[in-house]
Structure 1
Amino acid sequence: MILELLIATVMVLATVALHGVGLLVIARVLHERDLRRAGYRISPFSLEGAVIASGVALALLTLHGVEIWLYAFLFVTLDAIATLPEAVYFSTISYATIGYSDAPILERWRLLGAIEGVNGTLLMGWSVAFFVTVMARVLPHRRASRRPARRDRADAP
């Protein structure tokens, strides 16, 4: 069990680091776009808004896919699961916390599969928070779209 927990800890650290770097890369790409566009907000109903939303969603899915495959390769390397297709399937349902069954994994490594589920839940939550933040930057402010912003009395000339 100690070896299983040690391997799980290394995988959690590796996937969290990978996820952090991936989000940083996405954020930098978006920041560069903001600099080129002078930081104006775009309509989510525009082609540009749709491209940004779709691009970020695909980048996040790719990031999660890489993390799922890392776990799958680990399961095959440890001989915890017999074949790569079974390992990818098991890893996907564990990571997404669907958890249909742990039957294909050897009993000795089941805790590793459970920890992958906790790890996947946290990384997906992080991605959702990131995506919401990105979309909040894209969407126009409600006040700004209806009427000019009010000036506080302290700001008055």
Structure 2
Amino acid sequence: MLASLIVSTLMVVLTVLIHGVGLFVLSRLLRLEAKEEASANIHPMSPRGMAVTLMLVLGLFLVHGVEIWAYGFLYLWLGALPNLPEAVYFSTITYSTIGYDDEGFLTAWQMVAAIEGVNGVILLGWSTAFFVTVVARMGRR
């Protein structure tokens, strides 16, 4: 169990770092776009404004995807699941806390999966707060 907790802690640290860097990059790109929109008087509900919102959502999906795949590769490396498609699928539904029958998942690493669910909830909440903040700022411009 100690090994599971150590691995889980390392994965939480890794995914928080990935998430923080991802949101930092997205916010930098959004600041550049906001300056251009302001100088060109582009409305947030214009096609360009809508495209920016769509790119933001896709950027958030990309960040979460990297984190999910990191857990998927971990499960494969640990031998907790037999192949990459199953590991990524398991990781996706665990990260999003949808839940999955962990039949076939090595018992020794089940705590990692449980902590992935908690980690996913926190990171999804962080993304939601970021998205709401950005959209609120767009509406004020």
TM-score in same-fold range (> 0.5): yes
1:117 pairs with 2:103: no
* Post-superposition offset of 1:139: 1.2
AA in 1 matched with 2:77 = T
Name the CA distance, whole Å, in 2 between partners of 1:112 and 1:43: 45
- CA 1:38–1:46: 2 relative to 1, 3 Å: closer
Correspondence 1:127-138 to 2 at 5 A: 127-138=127-138
Q: 1:63 corresponds to which residue?
A: 63
Equivalent residues, number: 141
- CA 1:139–1:42: 2 relative to 1, 3 Å: farther
Q: RMSD across aligned C-alpha pairs, in angstroms? A: 1.6
Name the CA distance, whole Å, in 1 between partners of 2:36 and 2:44: 18
Unaligned residue ranges in structure 1 (runs of 5+): 142-157
- Higher helix residue share: 2
1:100 pairs with 2:100: yes
* Post-superposition offset of 1:102: 1.4
Rg larger for: 1
AA in 2 matched with 1:90 = F
Correspondence 1:11-90 to 2 at 5 A: 11-38=11-38, 43-90=43-90
Please give the TM-score of this superposition, normalised by the length of structure 1.
Answer: 0.84
Runs of 4+ in 1 over 6 A off after TM superposition: none
Unaligned residue ranges in structure 2 (runs of 5+): none
Q: 1:150 corresponds to which residue?
A: none
* Post-superposition offset of 1:42: 5.1
